[in-house]
Amino acid sequence: MADTVQGVITKGVGGAYSVCIDGGKTRAACQIRGGLRLGSIVPQAGDRVTIEPSGDPDLPYVITKILPRKNNLVRPPVANVDYLILTFSVTDPEPDLKLLDKLLIICANLDITPLIVFTKEDLGKEAAAKYLDEYSACGYQVLVSSKDSPVTAEALESITGSGIAAFAGPSGVGKSTLCNRIIGKEHMEVGTISRKLKRGRHTTRHVELFDFGEGFITDTPGFTSLSLLQLGIGYKEVPAGYPEIYKFTGKCKYDDCRHIKEEGCVVREALSLGQIGEERYNRYREFSEELYNERNNYKRRKA
Ligand SMILES: Nc1nc2c(ncn2[C@@H]2O[C@H](COP(=O)(O)OP(=O)(O)OP(=O)(O)O)[C@@H](O)[C@H]2O)c(=O)[nH]1
Ligand SMILES: [Mg+2]
Ligand SMILES: [Zn+2]
């Protein structure tokens, strides 16, 4: 149909969606037609959709189709993510490196390029240097941010280019602070307001894509827990989140080596030679064991 236009959902609140069309500044206000079935899929920010005029002056367009997704994250709730800006403070709160590693595993398996940002360097110089070393040695892009020298829009844009980029990380680490600076407006509340409302620091509650470079960027609500299992990630998918382990794939004595206690394991050898960080390895092992056992439990339940 001639009136059909393609776009990207930038925001969805209470059944009203904002869709970016014309590949740029124009936003169309959209609804989902009551009778129309979009399958069981709930449209969300980042979705590529087709829209048509609705005839309703309040929401003049209607979403007619959701195009196939490259990926879909539950936390943060964004589809078609190209870059995740994994944001962790070096202190206050202390970085949850298990959560960071889980996010790296997810990135590796969902075709997302991770970028790690350690914030609040002003509160912990040594810790920041340690984490920067630990993660850049694994081959990740890592930036450090502080109160007086925050990560700049230019630095981020040179990495995220033309894709959809989303902040991800725990609450109170400074995602909104950075995002506000980068897009140049106060689009979201930061910490202090919510404290007045006695809501802790869970300030950021909805997701909105903002124009950034040739693509989009979005702030997201903080979270503390994340289930690899629920995202369909099994033990075989864990090594991809550990490039320093993954590079040994196929080099151990057994092809299906899990690098835990098998004989002839070159990963264990590299570990004993100090070529692989022990803390990262321990987290690898924990996730691998957890998901392996989960698989066996599942088999047992089915039998
Ligand atoms: N010292 C210091 N404080 C920072 C820095 N970045 C952010 N903060 C402070 O950390 C607090 C939390 O920042 P937010 O930007 O609201 O954190 P958030 O990650 O968006 O939190 P949620 O929305 O709850 O997920 C605020 O008081 C900020 O001023 C930093 O680099 N150094
Ligand atoms: Mg926030
Ligand atoms: Zn091995």
**Of the listed ranges 135-139, 144-148, 196-200, the one predicted with least confidence:** 196-200
The verdict on 160 and 176 lying in the same domain is: yes
Q: Which of 218, 246, 264 marks a domain boundary?
A: 218
Our mutation pick for probing the ligand 1 site, out of 146, 188, 201, 208, counting the most ligand atoms within 8 A of Cβ, is 201
Beta strands in 147-231 (DSSP E): 164-168, 210-212, 215-218
Assess whether the previous peptide bond of 76 is cis (omega < 30° from 0).
yes
Regarding whether 77 and 64 lie in a shared domain, the answer is no
Nearest residue (by CA) to ligand 1, atom 30, is 120
Q: Confidence class of residue 194 from pLDDT cuts 50, 70 and 90?
A: very low
Same domain? For 175 and 82 the reply is yes
- Do both 84 and 161 map to the same domain? yes
Q: Is residue 151 in some structural domain?
A: yes
**Helix, strand, coil: what percent of the chain each, to 5?**
30, 25, 45
157 within some domain: yes
76 lines ligand 1 (CB under 6 A): no
Q: What is the CATH number of the domain that holds 206?
A: 3.40.50.300
Per-residue model confidence (pLDDT) at position 34: 64
pLDDT tens for each residue of 161-173: 889 999 999 999 9
Mean pLDDT, range 260-274, rounded to an integer? 97
Same domain, 205 and 265: no
Instruction: Decide if 262 is inside a domain.
Output: yes
Closest ligand 1 atom, CA of 191?
16
Q: Is the CB of 147 under 6 A from ligand 1?
A: yes
User: Does 135 fall in a domain?
Assistant: yes
Does 195 lie in the same domain as 169? Answer: yes
Ligand nearest to the CA of 260: 3
Domain match, 133 and 263 both: no
User: Mean pLDDT, the chain, as a whole number?
Assistant: 89
- Write down which residue in 33, 52, 68 finishes a domain: 68
CATH, residue 46: 2.40.50.140
| Domain ranges, residue 61 | 5-68
Non-local (6+) Cβ contacts of 10 within 8 A are 18, 19, 20, 27, 45, 208, 209, 210, 216
Same domain, 195 and 102: yes
Domain boundary among 167, 190, 218: 218
Same domain, 91 and 206: yes
Question: Does some domain include residue 227?
Answer: no
Same domain flag for 122 and 201 = yes
Q: What is the mean pLDDT of residues 264-273?
A: 97
CATH number of the domain that residue 238 is part of: 1.10.40.50
- 240 alpha carbon to ligand 3 midpoint, in Å? 14
**Between 267 and 232, the higher pLDDT residue:** 267
pLDDT value of position 185: 62
Assess if residue 224 is contained within a domain.
no
Note whether 243 and 196 are same-domain residues. no
Q: Is the CB of 218 under 6 A from ligand 1?
A: no
Give nearest CA residue, ligand 1 atom 32: 120
Ligand nearest to the CA of 192: 1
Q: Residues within 5 Å of ion ligand 3 by Cβ?
A: 252, 257, 259, 265, 267
**Tally of domains in the chain:** 3
What are the tens digits of pLDDT across the range 239-259? 999 999 999 999 999 999 999
pLDDT of residue 278: 96
The answer to whether residues 239 and 284 touch, using CB atoms and an 8 Å cutoff, is: yes
Task: Confirm whether 226 is domain-assigned.
Answer: no
Q: Which two tokens stand for residue 47?
A: 């979705």
pLDDT of amino acid 258: 96
**114 inside domain:** yes
Atom of ligand 1 nearest to the CA of 202: 24
Top mutation candidate among 125, 173, 194, 199 for ligand 1, by most atoms within 8 Å of CB: 173
Residue 195's pLDDT is: 40
Listed range (25-39, 45-59, 60-74, 230-244) with the worst mean pLDDT: 25-39
